[in-house]
Amino acid sequence: MSLAKKTLRELDPSGKKVFVRVDFNVPLKDGVVGDDTRIRAALTTLKHLLASGAAVIAASHLGRPKGQMVEELRMAPVAVRLQELLGADVPVKTVNCVRGNQVQKAAAALQSGELLLLENLRFDAGETENDDALAEELAGLADCFVQDAFGTCHRSHASTAGVPARCKPAVAGNLLEKEIRAFEQVMSQPEQPFVAVIGGAKVSDKILALKTLLEKVDCLMIGGGMAYTFLKAQGHAIGSSLCEEDRLDTAREVLAEAAARSVEMLLPTDHVVADAFFENANTQVVAGDLPSGWMGLDIGPETKAAYAAKLAEARTVVWNGPMGVFEMEPFSHGTSAVAKALAESHAVSVVGGGDSVAAVKKNGLQAHIGHISTGGGAFLELLEGKVLPGIAELDDALSD
């Protein structure tokens, strides 16, 4: 899949209706947007189009209604916040459905400089099924398509893949272009040393990314529950820690591949362990093998220091996944330590994945990270080298 796609710079939206796939999947509480980060992230694209004389039809999913109308997941609160952010000069209009006469009439009546926000796309079962009829109808509302929802680009849904296949030209919005540029910067021509930090619960979730990264990095640092599958594969005792028994051979293959490529592979040497998987469990720090009945839930101080030292030397860093059970405060410190070390480094850095991004934000380090990805699953699939339907269907950039 080529990541070289046409962008807003190659689109003349004046006098046209533009379908923009945005990612407004934001938290709602009591009918109010709790965190408007994703709405703000789309503003540069929306403002550019509106100021250029386009009539914008914006569409997003919200939550997982599974093809049913769920009152608590309506887009109305999002429209209210979007109106506040765009200002009174930009009329934000809404419809309470995804397709049909109401949508078609509202889109047809939309004037330049106005924005129409469709209802939650996933209220229609055809969205996640990439239904041809839904894609045809949505594509028929507009003259061109802009993809700015990187977080959903790995989904072959009607609005992400079906519409851009039918509505041309189809280009990348500013947010998506930023994601692509950041990814290419670190993966195509990284400055050495190149360090990848990979965490999370399971080796099986990250195996393709690990294999891709081994072809590019100088050092691979492992954390989270997946580390214990690797440690057991090396012959270490891991107590009652999470372990994928059916992935031990896979872990050995990764270790062997790293050795064959002279990639330094760092695993935790000490651990914050607990006697049960809950926040108020008894804990202790253990170096080396873990005692029976105890589970590793975070990296220990020795490992934190070693990982920080390696990050201080790095010139390029990719980070995806937590070092421990980040959602439990006693086991969040390893992930926060990596975030702080990365912020203090001079490396070109890209961070993706929910807990990794949360750690950066929790510690107020956003300004010190090169790029914070807006798409966890999409970011990981890019690392794996997979085709992302929401990007693949966009028009390729003209070669020089």
Each residue's pLDDT tens digit, 63-99: 999 999 999 999 999 999 999 999 999 999 999 999 9
What pLDDT is recorded for position 329?
Answer: 95
Active site (annotated) includes residue 64: no
Q: 202, 252, 361, 362: which one is catalytic?
A: 202
- In angstroms, the first-to-last Cα distance of the chain is 18
Residue 400 pLDDT exceeds 80:
no
Residue 2 pLDDT more than 90? Answer: no
For the chain, domain boundaries: 8-176, 190-383
Question: How many angstroms separate the CA atoms of 165 and 139, rounded?
Answer: 9
CB 240 within 8 A of CB 295: yes
Tokens of 358: 């949360």
Residue 1, pLDDT > 90, answer: no
pLDDT of 13: 97
What are the start-end ranges of the H helices in 225-332? 226-233, 248-260, 301-313
CA 29 vs CA 33, 69, 84, 218: distances in Å: 6, 18, 18, 44
pLDDT at 334 over 90: yes
At 194, phi and psi to the nearest 5?
Answer: -105, 120
Active-site residue flag, 340: no
Strands (DSSP E) along the chain, which ranges? Answer: 17-21, 28-29, 32-33, 55-59, 92-94, 115-117, 144-147, 170-172, 194-198, 219-222, 264-266, 270-274, 283-287, 295-299, 316-320, 348-352, 371-372
Per-residue model confidence as pLDDT tens digits over 253-312: 999 999 999 999 999 999 999 999 999 999 999 999 999 999 999 999 999 999 999 999
pLDDT at 243: 96
Per residue in 126-185, pLDDT tens? 999 999 999 999 999 999 999 999 999 999 999 999 999 999 999 999 999 999 999 998
Domain spanning 190-383, CATH architecture: 3-Layer(aba) Sandwich (3.40)
Residue with tokens 């890019």: 382
**Is residue 123 predicted with pLDDT exceeding 80?**
yes
Average pLDDT of the chain, as a whole number:
95
Catalytic residue among 16, 17, 38, 206: 38
pLDDT at 399: 67
pLDDT for 376 equals 80
Active-site residue identified among 354, 361, 370, 386: 354
d(CA 301, CA 311): 15
Q: At what angle do helices 376-383 and 203-214 cross, to 10 degrees?
A: 50
Q: Strand 219-222: give its sheet, edge to edge.
A: 264-266, 219-222, 194-198, 316-320, 348-352, 371-372
| Fold topology of 8-176 | Rossmann fold (3.40.50)
Query: What are the structure tokens assigned to 371, written together?
Result: 């790029």
Selection from 365, 310, 359, 332 nearest residue 196 by Cα: 310
Q: What is the pLDDT of residue 398?
A: 80
Distances (CA, A) of 382 to 3, 21, 41: 10, 19, 20
Token reading at 344: 């203090």
Which value, to the nearest 10 degrees, does the dihedral of the CA atoms of residues 169, 170, 171, 175 take? 140
User: 């914070």: which residue's tokens?
Assistant: 372
What is the Cα–Cα distance from 366 to 361, expressed in whole angstroms?
6
Span 272-282, pLDDT tens digits:
999 999 999 99
Calculate the alpha carbon distances from 329 to 34, 214, 223, 281, 298 in Å: 22, 32, 17, 12, 11
Instruction: Please write the tens of the pLDDT for every residue from 32-69.
Output: 999 898 999 999 999 999 999 999 999 999 999 999 99
In the chain, the percentage of residues whose pLDDT exceeds 70 is 99
Ordered DSSP codes for 214-227:
HTT-SEEEE-STHH
Compute how many other C-beta atoms are within 10 angstroms of the C-beta atom of residue 110. Answer: 20
Burial of 80 from C-beta contacts in 10 A (0-12 / 13-18 / 19+):
middle
Taking residues 351-355, report their average pLDDT: 87
What are 217-236's pLDDT values in tens digits? 999 999 999 999 999 999 99
How confident is the model at residue 385, as a pLDDT? 86
User: Does residue 202 carry a catalytic annotation?
Assistant: yes
Confidence of residue 27 (pLDDT cuts 50, 70, 90): very high
pLDDT at 246: 96
Annotation says 375 is catalytic: no
